[in-house]
């Protein structure tokens, strides 16, 4: 049996998604819950890895077990009954045997939240930014990233294949928040955070159009340097 599960989590007290020795991670926590439910070891595959302090509105993972008498509705209830306060399971469905949360994904959407309001109760869930935001200038950076490019400059990934396609970047406004939404076929490690940091650098006059163009046309690991804080980033949606 192959299951697809959608989960939301507050990444504040997690050291990212992927299992790590001596650190609390989302994957490890979920696998421990599933082991309690099914009384056997369960390995899950996430749609992608989120870093430390990064959140998810709708992360997707899949897993297989030989047999289960639980309905999807009852499995969802059991997951939430055992979940810690910073994880909530949203949907469970049984899927075809060839479904894989990562490899079957068609696109992913990330959102980065920036606020000009200093609020200690939101400090772990947004980038609280003191400078003025030139919205028109910020929007002019978006077309540089859209399309298929080698994003090695905007990543700390060790992947040999660093070509990715960004379908769109757009800016949303909500009360005192500015949200940068990025949709693409897939993302490298820290890619969205480095892109957002580069956009902020343009806003502050630390980079210009030529710098962005050069980083894309002359790919070199980590050469964009700046990386926005993890607390403002959310894995918002995964489409299949």
HSE value, Cβ hemisphere, 13 Å, CA-based, for 224: 32
Confidence at residue 165, expressed as pLDDT on a 0 to 100 scale: 96
Partners of 8 in beta bridges: 88
Confidence at residue 209, expressed as pLDDT on a 0 to 100 scale: 86
Q: Provide, rounded to the nearest whole percent, the portion of the chain with pLDDT above 70.
A: 100
Query: If pLDDT is split at 50, 70 and 90, which confidence band does 67 have?
Result: confident
Confidence at residue 221, expressed as pLDDT on a 0 to 100 scale: 83
Confidence at residue 119, expressed as pLDDT on a 0 to 100 scale: 92
Mean pLDDT of the chain: 94
- Mean predicted confidence (pLDDT) in 111-125: 94
Is the model more confident about 112 or about 207?
112
CA torsion angle 208 211 214 218 (round to 10): -150
Confidence at residue 174, expressed as pLDDT on a 0 to 100 scale: 85
Q: Provide, rounded to the nearest whole percent, the portion of the chain with pLDDT above 90.
A: 85
Query: If pLDDT is split at 50, 70 and 90, which confidence band does 187 have?
Result: very high
pLDDT at 225 exceeding the cut of 90:
no
Residue 120 burial (10 A CB sphere; 0-12, 13-18, 19+): exposed
Catalytic (active site) residue 161: no
- Mean predicted confidence (pLDDT) in 135-155: 94
pLDDT at 121 exceeding the cut of 80:
yes
pLDDT per position as a tens digit, 149-185 = 999 999 888 888 999 999 999 999 988 899 999 999 9
- CA–chain centroid gap for 114, Å, is 16
- Mean predicted confidence (pLDDT) in 223-237: 92
Enumerate residues 6+ apart whose C-beta is below 8 A from 229: 53, 127, 193
Please, what's the b/e burial string for 9-43 (b: 16 or more CB within 10 A of its CB; e: otherwise)?
bbbeebbbbeeeeeeebbbbbbbebbeebbeeebe
Annotated active-site residue in 51, 130, 158, 175: 51
């Amino acid at each position: 049996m192959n299951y697809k599960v959608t989960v939301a989590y507050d990444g504040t007290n997690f050291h990212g998604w992927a299992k790590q020795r001596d650190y609390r991670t989302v994957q490890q926590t979920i696998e421990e819950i599933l082991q309690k439910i099914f009384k056997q070891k369960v390995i899950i595959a996430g749609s992608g890895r989120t870093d430390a302090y990064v959140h998810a509105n709708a992360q997707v993972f899949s897993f297989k077990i030989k047999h289960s008498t639980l309905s999807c509705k009852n499995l969802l209830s059991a997951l939430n009954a055992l979940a810690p306060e910073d994880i909530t399971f949203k949907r469970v469905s049984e899927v075809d045997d060839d479904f894989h949360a990562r490899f079957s994904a068609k696109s992913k959407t990330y959102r980065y939240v920036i606020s000009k309001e200093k609020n200690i109760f939101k400090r772990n869930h947004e980038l609280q930014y003191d400078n003025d935001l030139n919205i028109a200038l910020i929007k002019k950076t978006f077309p540089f990233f859209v399309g298929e490019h080698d994003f090695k400059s905007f990543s700390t990934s060790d992947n040999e294949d660093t070509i990715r396609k960004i379908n769109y970047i757009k800016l949303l406004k909500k009360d005192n928040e500015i949200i940068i939404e990025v949709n693409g076929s897939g993302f490298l490690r820290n890619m969205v955070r480095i892109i957002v940091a580069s956009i902020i650098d343009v806003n502050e006059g630390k980079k210009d159009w030529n710098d962005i163009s050069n980083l894309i046309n002359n790919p070199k690991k980590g050469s964009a340097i700046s990386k926005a804080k993890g607390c403002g980033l959310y894995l918002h949606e995964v489409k299949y």
